[in-house]
Homo-oligomer: A and B are copies of this chain.
Amino acid sequence: MWPDKRICQMFNIEHPIILAPMAGPGGAELATGVAQGGGLASLPCAMLSIARIRKDVSIIRHHSNKAINLNFFTHAPQPHDNAGEAKWKTRLTPYYEELGLDPDKPVDAVNRAPFDEQTCSLVEELGPEVVSFHFGLPNEHLMQRVKDAGCKVIASATTVEEARNLQSRGCDAIIAQGVEAGGHRGMFLTDNVASQSGTMALLPQVVDSVEVPVIAAGGISDERGIVAAFALGAAAVQIGTAYLFCPEANVPPLHRAALNNARDDNTTLTNVFSGRPARSIFNRVIREVGPISADTPPFPTAGAALAPLKAVAEAQGSSDFSSLWSGQAASLAREMPAAELTEKLARKAQELLRKLAG
């Protein structure tokens, strides 16, 4: 049925459709729906406690016997940068004053931990079929433990150079993340957003540069994008934004409203929410402080000083300081349950493949 069956066989899934792990909106319910629809169920673990990951996996396993993908961030923990965080707080002080907040009150640390010994032990315990990493790979020792646990390992590349790096370090498949993609860019050998490629250009260049199967990500929200990805040489697609429209996604109301009004031209790459480039729908803090600010402290600490602003603004019905993650093709998405969406995407993609050939 599918022109390339390598990923379906490698992960033992029916359809070559991978739920993009989206820390925040993605949880057990969304993953379960995708698994039931025949895709790969991804659980974003970067913001979850060990106990919560264990619980979510048991929920997914309870409702489905299909493959699971556990996703982790692999940023190098940065030393505490007091000067950098003070500079960032100073940049945001006018907003603290506007909202009646005390800029001198300490802020809570953000909860995005990189993959480490503890989470690696959890992977060994839970035995997911797939583990995916964002921002490069963990060290050789941890990587070997994951592979020894029988997990297939995938990770995101935003350039050909990153794809080659991931292959040489043992990835079983590579996600080519075009610039259209929502949320955090997986870039780890460059920090230059100005040179990042669109999916149409990046994907075939990555396919030509590695031996392992390539998974397309970025700008794919319906069957047209899926078929285009296969035409460009992909063996599967990873879809995020379209799944944000599912009722199972934990999308706050203000974010959901922004997604419902998304256009091709109202997102941008910005580092203001975390310190790393990520694609969000425009809002006030992006327009006034970003989109790319030189004042952000290292990932993920930039989010800490924004959190009080976000909390107060959201309570007033404003998304001025909220990350409104979205890819560039949100307007193509339609609200429906995740299992139904997965089945529909697969069915319509196969119909389009036949139709194109005449």
Contact = CB atoms under 8 A, between A and B. Distances in A.
Interface residues of A, number: 58
A266 B208 contact: no
Interface string A293-330: 00000000000000000000000000000000001110
Q: How many copies does the complex hold?
A: 2
A141 B73 CA distance: 58
B3 A358 contact: yes
A18 interface: no
B332 A264 contact: no
B194 A180 contact: no
Interface of A: 1, 3, 159-161, 178-180, 190, 192, 194-202, 204-206, 208, 218-222, 224-225, 227-233, 263-269, 282, 291, 327-329, 331-332, 352-358
24 contacts: A3-B356, A3-B358, A159-B263, A160-B265, A179-B198, A195-B265, A195-B268, A196-B265, A197-B264, A198-B198, A198-B199, A198-B218, A198-B219, A201-B218, A204-B332, A205-B264, A206-B264, A224-B232, A227-B356, A228-B232, A230-B356, A231-B231, A353-B358, A356-B357
Which 3 A/B pairs are nearest by Cβ-Cβ distance?
A198-B198, A357-B357, A200-B219
